[in-house]
């Protein structure tokens, strides 16, 4: 594709205000992929339809949202919301910026009915993990399900755990790259620590890769296996 026909990158179309807004969101750790998509959509529209526009007024906002008129409220809402957030940010330095009314954001009503697993269901899930084939797999999935059940870890957080994230002495997990890129410390119940350390012993016996090692100084003092945490 020739240089004259090359599709402009979003960054080439962003004005100084857009760059400042994205930098602000990055600083908050909330500059997610969907934010770039929505801001890029708005930037391209302004560059094409209103390159001299100084404010995103009501009529201009309507023109931008017109192609989304047939979309669901759940789809249109984030676009209106990000435009309003951008205008609120810009209004801090330019009082002449028009901020879309919050009532312009489509309301989305999605009934949410939380489901709480029963003890019987948790026991069945643990049993299914324990009955998996393989020499190490059942001893991996059983403590994994137990960690998810007792600590409230997100599935992605549990999947990203490495050996160095566990302090066997204190029984604390170091969760890295959680929601919004934040980290936190999660203490394990004594019985859960028993199960996890038993898994680590089986892992070593199976010859699985060991680095990085858990942060253990000597032999950790943990309760006996009879104190293991279980929904039983």
Please write down the HEC assignment for all residues of 126-146: HHHHHCCCCCCHHHHHHHHHH
CA atoms within 13 A on the CB side of 63: 12
Name every residue whose Cβ is closer than 8 Å to that of residue 34 and which is 6 or more positions away in sequence: 78
Task: Report d(CA 147, CA 155) in Å as an integer.
Answer: 10
The catalytically annotated residue of 26, 179, 182, 210 is 179
**CA gap 126, 143 in Å, rounded:** 8
Residues in the chain: 232
Annotated catalytic residue 182 = no
Report DSSP state, residue 178: -
Q: Which of 154, 177, 204, 210 is catalytic?
A: 154
71 catalytic per annotation = no
Query: Catalytic residue positions?
Result: 154, 179
């Amino acid at each position: 594709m020739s240089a004259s026909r090359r599709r402009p990158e979003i960054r080439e179309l962003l004005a100084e205000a857009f760059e400042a807004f994205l930098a602000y969101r990055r600083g908050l750790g909330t500059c997610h992929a969907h934010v770039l998509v929505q801001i890029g959509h708005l930037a391209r529209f302004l560059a094409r339809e209103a390159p001299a526009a100084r404010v995103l007024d009501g009529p201009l906002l309507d023109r931008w949202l017109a192609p989304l008129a047939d979309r669901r409220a759940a789809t249109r809402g984030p676009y209106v919301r990000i435009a309003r957030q951008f205008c609120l940010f810009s209004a801090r330095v330019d009082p002449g910026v028009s901020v879309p009314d919050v009532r312009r954001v489509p309301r989305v009503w999605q009934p949410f009915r939380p489901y709480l697993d029963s003890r019987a269901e948790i026991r069945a899930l643990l049993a299914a993990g324990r009955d998996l084939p393989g020499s190490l797999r059942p001893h991996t999935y059983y403590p994994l399900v137990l960690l998810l059940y007792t600590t409230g870890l997100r599935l992605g957080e549990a999947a990203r755990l490495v050996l160095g994230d566990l302090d066997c002495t204190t029984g604390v997990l170091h969760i890295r790259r959680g929601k919004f890129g934040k980290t936190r410390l999660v203490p394990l119940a004594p019985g859960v620590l028993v199960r996890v350390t038993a898994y680590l012993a089986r892992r070593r016996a199976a010859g699985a890769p060991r680095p990085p090692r858990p942060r253990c100084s000597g032999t950790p003092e943990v309760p006996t296996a009879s104190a293991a945490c279980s929904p039983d």
